[in-house]
Chain A
Amino acid sequence: ILNVEQSPQSLHVQEGDSTNFTCSFPSSNFYALHWYRWETAKSPEALFVMTLNGDEKKKGRISATLNTKEGYSYLYIKGSQPEDSATYLCAPLYDALNFGKGTSLLVTP
C-alpha cells in the first residue's frame, strides 16, 4: 500500500479567495501524477497529468506543479468560485493509479 497524502483534508474559503493544497507521494518508481476533480454524486474527472520534475500545468484558474525528486505536487486555484466546490484527488501512477483521500473544497459566496 503506497502512502499518498493530501492536505488539508478539507478547506472552506470565500468566493474570490485563492487557495492551494498539497499531495505528497513516494517518489521512487513513479511514472506520472494525475489530478482529478470530483463533484458530489458524479464521477472523478481528470484535470492534469504531469510527469517531469518542475512540470507546471494550467487550466483556467487552476494550476498544478510537480516535484518528482521530493515527491510532492501543489494544486492552486486562483479566485475561487462556488462552482469550484468539489473534492480534488491526486493519484501518482506506479503500476496503477493510487489515489489520495482528497481535499474537499467548499467555496461560499
Chain B
Amino acid sequence: NAGVTQTPKFQVLKTGQSMTLQCAQDMNHNSMYWYRQDPGMGLRLIYYSASEGTTDKGEVPNGYNVSRLNKREFSLRLESAAPSQTSVYFCASRYRGGTDTQYFGPGTRLTVL
C-alpha cells in the first residue's frame, strides 16, 4: 500500500496562475481532507469529502475548489493563486468512523510569488 500520495511535492506559482493539487489513497477510505499548514497556525481544514460524491467547506475554503473524482482521488484547485496561499498543503484520509485513524500524505509545498 502506498497510503496517501500527493503530487506535486513542490510548486512555485506566480500570482494569478491556477493549479490543481492531486491526492490519492489506496486504503479504501471513505473520507478525504485537505489542510494547509502555516507557521503558528497549525493545521487548518480547507475542504473535506465525507464520502464519494460529497464535499464540504472547512475552516478556510476561500480561494479553493475541490473535486472528489472517485473514491480514491480528491483534488484541490487554486483558480487564481495569491501570495496568501503560500503554504504547505496536506491531504488526509480516514475510513469513516470516529475512532478510525486519519492518515496524511507527505505534503505539497506551494509558493506563490
Contact = CB atoms under 8 A, between A and B. Distances in A.
A97 B104 CA distance: 12
Contacts of A91: 102
A43 B98 contact: no
Contacts of A43: 90, 104-107
A64 B102 CA distance: 18
Contacts of A42: 106
Contact of A89 (B40, B43, B58, B100): B43
B98 A93 contact: yes
A88 B104 CA distance: 15
A63 to B, nearest CB: 18
B56 interface: yes
A72 interface: no
Contact of A101 (B33, B42, B90, B107): B42
A19 interface: no
A102 B42 contact: yes
B62 interface: no
A-B complex: 8 closest residue pairs judged by Cβ atoms: A31-B98, A101-B42, A43-B104, A32-B98, A99-B43, A46-B101, A49-B99, A96-B48
Interface of B: 31, 33, 35, 40-45, 48, 50, 56, 58-59, 90, 94, 98-107
